[in-house]
Amino acid sequence: MGEINDATIIAALRRQMTVVAARQVVAASNLANVNTPGYRAKEVSFGDALDQRLSAATEMKATNSRHLAGTVTHDPNISETADLQSRRDGNNVQIDRELLTMTRAAGDFSAAQTALAAKFRLVRYALSESR
């Protein structure tokens, strides 16, 4: 397993925020289509998104000493939600389910944002103490 350092923590928080933001966007899209005949609800699969992030992230190699190292990542996995009961018009969006998804995603985003802000406060403190 790789080394845990500030860059690793910040990258993990960024990935978490990206996934939960995608969940909110997908849930909002589902809600916007609640009355669209034949519309099938979509979701962001966390397990698939995490597996994809972990396996698809590739290290870039610096070819010059002035280049910055980094990783290449892909968008979260969005798929049709399985096992939802359809109405007569073929639409399977459930308002309560989508609102709950949005609320959970907002909480997860807020938690990651709080952790990221705390990390930056520590960096600012360290910089101000070194003067």
pLDDT, mean of each 10-residue run, the chain (131 residues): 77 90 95 96 74 50 60 69 94 97 95 92 84 69
- What are the φ/ψ torsions at residue 79 (nearest 5 degrees)? -140, 170
Question: What local confidence, expressed as pLDDT, does residue 65 receive?
Answer: 65
First to last CA, the chain: 35
Q: Using the structure block, give the residue that is written with the tokens 């990651």.
A: 112
User: Which residues is 78 bridged to in the sheet?
Assistant: 44
Q: Using the structure block, give the residue that is written with the tokens 């690793």.
A: 8
Q: What does DSSP assign to residue 65?
A: T
Dihedral-angle region of residue 83 (phi above 0 means left; psi in -120 to 50 means alpha; beta otherwise): left
For the chain, give the longest Cα–Cα distance: 69
Question: What local confidence, expressed as pLDDT, does residue 50 receive?
Answer: 55
Q: Which tokens in the block code for residue 30? A: 């589902």
3-state DSSP assignment of residue 8:
helix
